[in-house]
Amino acid sequence: PRGNIFPEGAVIKSTATDPSVVDDAGVFRLEGPARVYTSEKGAIAAIKDGKIKEGDVMILTGIGPMGTGMEETYQVTSALKYLPFGKRVALITDARFSGVSTGACIGHAGPEGLAGGPIGKLRDDDVIRIAIDCHANTGSADFVGEGGREFNAEEGAAILAARPSRADMAPNPQLPDDTRLWAALQRLSGGTWGGCVYDVDAILEALG
């Protein structure tokens, strides 16, 4: 999938989407307010405290390679599964998913938040529009509204480009040095979609 939230791409776990929220054409559609979190712990707390509502789009940013070594977010999708409306909540993250994750999941968003990616510039109540074709394995997720005003994906991209990254994102201070090095090499060789395993030739060219 592509979109102004992840212009370099992402991964959709389309088969995990509940069939009851997919239309006759095989498309999952959701347009709703962003609920932005910079840690899995914060996202879980929001679910437990009843802060997540039907139709929300949970944004989990700053936990990609540079943030936490790209942790898996199964706990969030597992918690949503037990809400009566959880199948009508989507999750977009620059981290990854467990093999048993369920729900409308979009991960590996690139560029990641800590690399200046648009996902790290989203704010609560930004309007997010998602369309996932579960048959064709294509889709999009775009920032299309704020403050009661709607706009197209191109204008949304321009607004995000002008915003600063969130100040509450930061690398985990306990991130091991070898993970920090992997994240730095990956970023230098093109980011998540320049190769989840870094491109040695691209790194050597950049260093030269």
Q: Which residues have a catalytic role annotated?
A: 98
Q: What are the helix (H) ranges across the chain?
A: 40-48, 65-68, 74-81, 153-162, 177-188, 200-207
Q: Which of 139, 138, 145, 147 is nearest to 160 (CA)?
A: 145
Please give the angle made by the CA atoms of 149, 166 and 61, to the nearest 5 degrees: 95
DSSP state of 96: B
Residue 150: enclosing H or E segment and its boundaries? strand 149-150
**Residue 87: both structure tokens together:** 């199948």
d(CA 69, CA 176): 9
DSSP state of 22: B
CB contact at 8 A, 1 and 140? yes
CB contact at 8 A, 169 and 63? no
